[in-house]
Amino acid sequence: MYKKYLPIFRNENAYATCLVQAAMDMYGLPPVTALENPDELEIDWGFLSWDPGVMEAELTKDLGERPPGENLTKLQAAFGILITDAFHYNVHAFAATCQALSRGIPMTDEFIPSGLEDTAWGVLEANFLEGPSFWETGFSTDIAAYTGLLLDNHGIYEPPEVFKFATGREELRKKMLSNLEGDPDMYETAVRNQDEAKSELQGYLNRRTAELIHQWMSLPIPYLNRDGEVKRMLSIVEGQTE
């Protein structure tokens, strides 16, 4: 019955959002009613709290093979986002989760800073997973400063929407204007470089968002609503990447 999910769990480029959706259908819904409208069903979210070893064992049994380690990492990172608030308040958890969601990098006790693209994707997919409450929760000052430093290192003082919580943007802009005062050529170059870096980052996010949506829409789950908001979002991101 669950072998239909083998392709998504076997795919090393699977997105955590899609893995969670598949896991929810496998372990959160009664098998007899799994084809009905999930809005009318009582979902058992207990599987989100399963020990990683238990989840790995259940998936291996039901799929007939062990999923790649990258996908098990993405799944556990997503579960952490859904059942704790560490992503919003602990900079170590924030960086580790971003790398896990972006590239399936194992989460360890050692602090390993996440790069700009991994961080941007981690925030965006965490938003997809949490839904409307994501921005209401906000981020700690440490995480806001951390993302601000990442943007500083890339010369971006007007970041994409995904980094709207980063601190120090106006300060960096004023500093740049002050340093380049009286040199219009250097100022123009700095502005152009920041616009190019910002555009490149947004393009990266749009491409991955389109991939995620296509992957989600291809899941073998009849009750998924593939129209409406999802279709509109796909149209927007694909239009912005052309």
Angle between helices 184-217 and 16-27 (to 10 degrees): 20
**Average pLDDT in the chain:** 88
Q: What is the C-alpha to C-alpha distance for residues 97 and 81, in angstroms, rounded to an integer?
A: 8
Rounded percentage of the chain residues whose pLDDT exceeds 70: 88
Q: Which residue has the tokens 């959160």?
A: 28
Q: What are phi and psi of 57, to 5 degrees?
A: -65, -45
Is the Cβ–Cβ distance between 74 and 15 less than 8 Å?
A: yes
Q: Taking 70 as the threshold, does the pLDDT of residue 35 lie above it?
A: no
More confident residue, 92 or 229: 92
- Kindly write down the DSSP assignment for every residue of 188-235, as one continuous string: HHHHHHHHHHHHHHHHHHHHHHHHHHHHHHTSS-TT---STHHHHHHH
Phi-psi region of 64 (alpha: psi -120 to 50; beta: other; left: phi over 0): left
Q: Each residue of 159-211: pLDDT tens digit?
A: 889 999 998 666 666 666 666 666 777 777 777 888 898 999 999 999 999 99
pLDDT of residue 184: 78
Eight-state DSSP code of residue 107: P
pLDDT of residue 170: 65
Q: What is the mean pLDDT of residues 217-240?
A: 81
Q: What is the C-alpha to C-alpha distance for residues 163 and 140, in angstroms, rounded to an integer?
A: 13
Q: What is the C-alpha to C-alpha distance for residues 193 and 184, in angstroms, rounded to an integer?
A: 14
Q: Taking 60 as the threshold, does the pLDDT of residue 143 lie above it?
A: yes
Eight-state DSSP code of residue 180: T
